[in-house]
Structure 1
Amino acid sequence: MTAAVVAGCSQSADVSSRIAAEAAKAQTIDLAALTPFAWDRALVFGPYASTDRICAALPKSFAECAKSYPQGVGEGSYLLTFIRDSRVVHHELHSRRHGEFCKNSCVLELSPETARFTVGVSSSVPDRKHFSPATR
C-alpha cells in the first residue's frame, strides 16, 4: 500500500534511482542537481523512523503524512521528503541498496546548498555505497 501512495505522489521524478546512478559513477553527489523540481528544504528520515517523528517534522499542511507512512520507515529504506514554501512537493522511499545516508532513526535536514555528499563504501555492507556530508 505504501508503495502505491509513494508512486502516486510524484511520478515525474524517481530521485532514488538518480542518486544510485550518480553514486555508481561519481565521488560526490549533489542532491539538488538530481531533483527535477524546486525545493528549499529536504528531510531524510533513516530506517526505523516512526510515523510520529516523521509527521512532527513535516509541515502541518502535509495532511497525508500518517496515511502515507502508517508504519514509519522500514529497515531497508530512507524517506526522502522535499519541501518548498512550507509544502511537501515530493516524497519517496529510497532503498538502502541505492546508498546509505546515515544510521538508524536519523533525520537529516538539508538545504539545496548543504545537500552534497561524498560517496564511500558502507561499513556494514561492502558492496553498498554510503554518503557522508561533503566538506566545502
Structure 2
Amino acid sequence: MVKHAFLILSVLLTGCFLLGPDAGLVSTRIGHEVRDKNEQHIDMTEMTDFPWDELYLFGPYQARDSICRTLQIGGTECSRVSPEMVDEGDVLLVFRNRGDIAHVEKHRRYLGDFSSADKSDPIRREDAKFIVEQSSVAADGKPWLKLNLLQRSNPPKRTSPNGEGPIDRH
C-alpha cells in the first residue's frame, strides 16, 4: 500500500514539475498532442474551446509593461492579464476576440516551445498553425520541441482593442 501511495505521489509531483502549477487547459492539450501523441502539426483552433480571433505569444523575460503596451491595456486589466515578467520556462498565451481579452494562460515551453515565433504582431486564428520540430534534447533526455509558425496567408493588420481600424503608431 505504501509503495502504491509513493508511486502515485511521484507521478503527481513529476506531472506538476513538467506542467507547472499554473499550466492551463490549452497548454495541457498542446503538451498531450506533441509529447504523448507525437503530432507534427498543431492547429491552435483545435486546442481551444472558446471564441478568439487573435493569438499573442510573449516569451521568456517579457516584462509586464511591454506586454500591456503591445496589447494596449493598462491599469487593473494589465495586472490581471500579465505577470511582472514571463518566467524562463514559459510563454504567455493571450487570446483576443474582437479586441477583448478572451483567455490568458501560462504555457510551459517543455510542452512545445513557441519562443522562436514572431511576437510583434498578433497571429490570426486562421494562421495559428505550427509545425513541431525537434531542436535539441531536454534535461530529461527527451526531445526539446519547437513550435514554429507555418507561413501566414497575409500579414495581419494590427487593430485597436475595440476592433475599429488600424493602430495609429504616431
Q: Which band: TM-score by shorter chain?
A: 0.7 to 0.9
What is the number of equivalent residue pairs in this alignment? 127
Structure 1 unaligned runs (5+)? 8-12
Which of 108, 122, 133 in structure 1 is aligned with 2:135? 122
Max Rg structure: 2
Q: Which has the higher contact order (CA 8 A, sep 6+)?
A: 1
SS in 2 for 1:97: helix
Judge which range, 42-51 or 64-73, deviates more: 64-73
Aligned: 1:69 with 2:62: no
- When residues 70 and 34 of structure 1 are mapped into structure 2, their CA distance, relative to the original with a 3 A threshold, is closer
- When residues 103 and 133 of structure 1 are mapped into structure 2, their CA distance, relative to the original with a 3 A threshold, is closer
Higher strand share: 1
Shift of 1:96: 1.1
**2:147 aligned partner, one-letter code:** F
SS in 2 for 1:19: helix
Distance 2:93 2:123 in 1: 11
Aligned: 1:86 with 2:69: no
- When residues 83 and 130 of structure 1 are mapped into structure 2, their CA distance, relative to the original with a 3 A threshold, is same
Aligned: 1:107 with 2:107: no
Aligned: 1:22 with 2:17: no
Instruction: Provide the alpha-carbon RMSD of the alignment.
Output: 2.8
Distance 2:75 2:127 in 1: 24
Judge which range, 43-52 or 21-30, deviates more: 21-30
Higher helix share: 2
Distance 2:80 2:97 in 1: 21
Could you state the TM-score of these two structures normalised by the residue count of structure 1? 0.79
Shift of 1:135: 4.2
Distance 1:47 1:76 in 2: 7
Runs of 4 or more consecutive aligned structure 1 residues displaced over 6 Å after TM superposition: none
Structure 2 unaligned runs (5+)? 1-19, 153-170
